[in-house]
Amino acid sequence: MARVTQEHLDARRRQILDGAALCFARNGFHATSMQDVLKEVDLSAGAVYRYFSGKDELISAIVTEVLSEIREHFEAAARQSPPPPPDELVGRVMGSVLGGRSGMVHNGEFVYPRLIIQVWTETLRNEELSAAINDGYGSVRAAWMKVVQGYQDAGMMRDDVPAESVARTMIATAQGFVAQMAIFGAAPVEVLQEGLRGLMSMGNPDARA
């Protein structure tokens, strides 16, 4: 019997996660059955259950993966001296997270933001998912705080504002942009970058468009 490589196993896991994410985004978490996921990924029940025990484990894996990706971006930025400015950094991270999921399209609409909104809603009733998201956002917030401290050390940002307050606000800004995309339709990440750039120019008489 041919030996199954790790590359094959990783590719199969990726196939299942991507297919499940599209199902959840398209139809909603509760309206999606595991049978829907099996049909989407064109695999047997045994092949899918080898990796995931059910919908809860699937959605938790999707969330954990995305938040880990975001954290890694911010941790890499924190190692730079100074870190990239907020408009550049947030644009880079959002572009990577959203652009890396270009297959999340249904009837010509990019539905990944809808999946994010559904995940947030599900955390209100699912304690395990809520715990996973809290852990994930905690690590993202910690990474953002390191970036803020880098700004403060470089004199790019006033140092009398708690780093955690800035980190929470920047996370809220990104979340709000995703919520707008889910409700009002897709918008380029450049819109968020331009808005941040405008806010950053306040109080700087030398700032010019």
The pLDDT tens digits for 115-126 are: 899 999 989 989
Residue 32 has φ and ψ, to the nearest 5°, of -95, 125
- Give kind and range of the element (H or E) at residue 205: none
**What is the mean predicted confidence (pLDDT) over 48-55?**
93
Give yes or no for residue 34 having a pLDDT over 80: yes
The structure's pTM equals 0.82
Give yes or no for residue 208 having a pLDDT over 60: no
User: pLDDT value at position 3?
Assistant: 66
Among the residue ranges 38-52, 88-102, 160-174, the one predicted with the least confidence is: 88-102
At residue 1 the predicted structure's pLDDT band, cuts being 50, 70 and 90, is: very low
* Degrees, nearest 5: CA angle 169-78-91: 55
